[in-house]
Structure 1
């Protein structure tokens, strides 16, 4: 290495440093079997992991080709890199769908919280109206618990059957809308009965 020019030496040292960093980053993957890695991850995370590892391997192979004086663009490997890009797009699309589903879950109406909010926001409610609000809140909580139990039971049945349980998901989706309508109707009625103070 003494006969090499200084700029080449510095580039080689930089490359060795980056390879050491890469080895450190890949150590968790290299020290475990694929089965051990898969056991810790859900399907989407597994797909992302395999995608990332494939991209790392592809980059290293391109680097290897360059060190051998072969242009990676002219190598048959480029077809495989195109496939990797397609898989990456699929995984990114799936990750975006999962994130969207998670954000949609937060759009559900919390009936109990809404009834507490209404009771606090409208202080001139009659005793009957307050009781009705409490009743709606309790019904909302019991319906949510019922839905959760149904979903948990559906998940258990799905695991046992090895299939999908779309019926359970569809049948539990619309009940919060009924509570929302009831709460909105109640709010409208309550506001109609409350006379503004002058």
Structure 2
């Protein structure tokens, strides 16, 4: 592309940028051709992944058109492409919300109930609180009873 334009038509300091742009444009062209060549039946994606792919493709194509308008001297902010990009972005956010909901932690109602029940547990009023601990129970089982011993 940059080779087609005579050198005297553009400043030499932007030649490197134009060459890079031409290379990038060729890469984008290759990817778009591959994407357009593959059919949806060949991809075998679940509906959510297919929606992501379709939205990404639509956004990429509309972004390329935005860039084309800029190269033609047309302000894309005053063109209908801006609304189209916003519409696609809105749908991308909806898909992101669905994906985030799938990743969100699930509430285990049984476990939550056990946590609450154990946090609110109180020992019986008539028993000594130390009797309820496993260590206190084991210690009392192995110590001799004081009433059988006489001290002088």
Normalization by structure 1: what TM-score?
Answer: 0.49
Q: Which structure's residues are more often helix, by fraction?
A: 1
Residues 6-63 of structure 1 show CA distances to partners (whole Å, capped at 9, x for unaligned) of 12322211111222332454455233113323xx211111111111111101110001
Give the counterpart of 2:84 among 80, 84, 100.
80
Q: Does 1:63 align with 2:6?
A: no
Report matched runs for 1:74-153 at 5 Å.
Answer: 74-100=78-104, 103-104=105-106
How many Å separate the matches in 2 of 1:26 and 1:7? Answer: 30
Kindly tell me the number of residue pairs found equivalent between the two proteins. 117
How many Å separate the matches in 1 of 2:58 and 2:67? Answer: 14
Q: Does 1:32 align with 2:47?
A: no
How many Å separate the matches in 2 of 1:42 and 1:13? Answer: 39
How many Å separate the matches in 1 of 2:103 and 2:30? Answer: 30
Unaligned ranges ≥5, structure 1: 109-173, 186-190
Shift of 1:192: 4.3
